[in-house]
Amino acid sequence: MSQYSGTSVHEAYSKAVEERMYALASEELTQGAVRVGLWAKAWSMAGGNNREAKARYLALRVEMMVAEQTLHSCVADWRLRVSMDRAA
């Protein structure tokens, strides 16, 4: 069996996507273009410590990106099913 089995390729892809999400979240943070609600949550979780809040924000933002990606996929699947049902 190849070392590039479906599982390892999927895992590598997931890690690459996650890295890109962290890069995007870091860019947002650096540019001050944060999501206010997430920043407030991160700051609260960090007890007002700005350095810790930044780290927490990055993790929360990536979680949100994953959730949004999942939501978009579900909506796309739903739209496809509806259009297929209409065509039938």
* Torsion sign (Cα): 41, 49, 27, 18: negative
* Torsion sign (Cα): 22, 23, 24, 26: positive
pTM of the complete model beyond 0.85 = no
Question: Dihedral, CA atoms, 59, 65, 71, 74, nearest 10 degrees?
Answer: -110
- Please say whether the beta carbons of 59 and 40 come within 8 A: no
One digit per residue, the tens of pLDDT, for the chain of length 88 reads 455 556 788 899 889 999 999 999 999 999 999 999 999 999 999 999 999 999 999 999 999 999 999 888 888 778 878 888 888 7
- Please say whether the beta carbons of 61 and 35 come within 8 A: yes
| In the chain, where the domains are located | 6-87
